Amino acid sequence: MITGLKIPGRKGLSIKNKIGIYNKMKYVYIPLISGGDTDITVAVKKGDYVYKGSVIGKRKGNLRIPIHSSVSGTVVDYEEKFVSNGQKVKCVVIENDFLDAIENEYENNDLTKYTKKEFIKTIQECGIVGLGGSGFPTYVKYNTDQKIKTLIVNAVECEPYITADYVLVREKCDEILETIDAIREINDIDEAIIAIKSHNTGLKEVIDNYIGTYLKLKLVLVPNIYPMGWEKSLVKFIKKTDYQRLPIEKGIVVSNVSTIYAIYEALKYKKPLTERIVTFTGENLKRPQNVMVKMGTSASEIIKKVGGIDNKDALYIAGGPMMGKGIPTDDIIINCNDNCILVLDNYSLDIETTCLRCGKCVEKCPAKLSPVLIGESLDKVDRLKKLQPTRCIECGLCSYICPAKINVREKVRKAKEILRKEG
């Protein structure tokens, strides 16, 4: 059985508007971080001229992936800035010359002409990482000797406020389906499935309009419960199977739909990952909207573009209300894994009381954990180890369901951090 909960949506705030574009920033701050890893080799120095798409850093170690400049201009400084995980991270500051100059003209390739080797090389060199929130280098998923039997494209987007994937599929459906089909062909994958929520009839109509020409693609409607977009829930619902660590154990690869579009641009034009769609939304924002944002832009600039805030006592969350993280300022730097900036009224937070021992957090946890016990064991490392908080996917259901308004998820996050430091 799939554990989950029906959560009232607030997608209507941002869904109707077309995707906005913002490229007026005088400076971009390219964070030297990739998938949470800050062990980056810097490839530029102060005074260097960079093109849009120039490599300015490379992640070291096994998961090598480049970081690109999102504008053309001059490297003027290094500065520490907040990113969405709450960390201050060293950034390369580039003064934008507003020319969007590129070193080589974009190519116009046939997606089906790639060999598997060329496919892997291209998405690695273009710096494609998981845009659903993981930031994990995408080439690694496909660079396997194991037979990939099924590709599942995750367009479920189950967080209540976020519509970035929705508007992308609405506006780029044909390109997305073409890419899924090409990935299937190149990697000799038996079947490819695109998954959306069952109540999402508008999106179903859009996909139905195009999918007929792709005979080997299938649309699957999944239940409207949270966290249905979690890989384990998706695999279980669609393929009726479980896995331990990664879906590839069962011959399955799951890719987020925004990642698929980034792969499209990489294969078609050899265009590196330098921008993404971010949902700017929330009851405290004047004009909620999805905006195409260049990596390294401060969220504060986009918030101004969408009309600013209503109430100065604002609460900023990077991500959705369920999995996102409260951030201390709107001056956080947008990077690959940021799909949403949520702006609420600060007083919308509820007051926490003592635990009622109701067990609801345990009952609803999709990872089958005991969040309440984990939260109470932060000073007992041996007990924490037994409770396995590292299996938490940070979905936030325990906090959402808690009648005492305890931020249980935050406690479980702390427990993960404690165990990580213990090694």
Would you tell me which residues interact with ligand SF4 (CB under 6 A)? 355-361, 365-367, 369, 371-372, 392-398, 401-404, 406, 408-409, 412
Judged by beta carbon, residue 158 or residue 303, the one nearer ligand SF4 is 158
Q: How far is the CB of 365 from ligand SF4 (least distance, A)?
A: 3
β-bridge mates for residue 240, sequence order: none
Whichever of 329 and 353 has its CB closer to ligand SF4, that residue is 353
Cis, bond preceding 227 (omega within 30 deg of 0) = yes
Under 8 Å between Cβ of 267 and 177: no
- Between residues 154 and 399, which has the closer beta carbon with respect to ligand SF4? 399
CB of 339 to ligand SF4, least distance (A): 18
Across the strands, what pairs with 220? 195
Question: What is the residue whose two structure tokens read 């938490």?
Answer: 392
CB nearer ligand SF4, residue 266 or residue 401: 401
Identify whether the C-beta of residue 368 lies closer than 8 Å to the C-beta of residue 345. Answer: no
| Alpha-carbon distances of 12 from 9, 288, 382, 384, rounded to whole Å | 8, 10, 46, 40
Q: Residue 401 has which token pair?
A: 């369901």
- 11: helix, coil or strand? coil
In 16-163, where does DSSP find H-type helix?
Answer: 116-125, 138-142
What single letter denotes the amino acid at residue 55?
A: V
Output 114 or 400, the one with its CB closest to ligand SF4. 400
In three-state secondary structure terms, 316 is strand
- The H or E element that residue 417 is part of is helix 408-422
Shorter beta-carbon distance to ligand SF4: residue 192 or 392: 392
**In the complex, what is the shortest distance from the CB of residue 352 to ligand SF4, in angstroms, rounded to a whole number?**
10
Residue with smaller CB distance to ligand SF4, 73 or 247: 247
Query: Between 28 and 156, whose beta carbon lies closer to ligand SF4?
Result: 156
Min dist. Cβ of residue 409 to ligand SF4 (A): 4
The answer to whether the beta carbons of residues 294 and 23 sit under 8 Å apart is yes
Smallest distance, ligand SF4 to C-beta of residue 366, A: 6
Q: Which is nearer to ligand SF4, 197 or 411 (CB)?
A: 411
Sheet (strand 55-59) strand order: 40-42, 55-59, 66-68
CB of 419 to ligand SF4, least distance (A): 14
Minimum distance between the CB of residue 112 and ligand SF4, rounded to whole angstroms? 40
- Measured from the CB of residue 254, what is the shortest distance to ligand SF4 in angstroms? 18
CA distances from 360 to 201, 356, 370, 375, 393 (A): 31, 10, 10, 14, 17
Min CB(405)–ligand SF4 separation in Å: 8
CA 61 to chain centre: 22
* Residue where the block lists tokens 């890719």: 255
**408, 414 in Cβ contact below 8 A?**
no
Question: If DSSP codes are grouped into helix, strand and coil, which group holds residue 280?
Answer: strand
Least distance CB 373 / ligand SF4 (angstroms): 9
Residue 353 DSSP class: -
> What single DSSP character describes residue 28?
E
Q: CB of 395: closest distance to ligand SF4 in angstroms?
A: 4
Q: Which is nearer to ligand SF4, 36 or 403 (CB)?
A: 403
Q: Which is nearer to ligand SF4, 238 or 355 (CB)?
A: 355
Distance CA 108, CA 110 (A): 7
Residue 120: CB atoms within 10 A of its CB come to 20
Cα 91 from Cα 82, distance rounded (Å): 10
Q: Give the HSE-up count for residue 317: Cα atoms under 13 Å, Cβ half-sphere.
A: 24
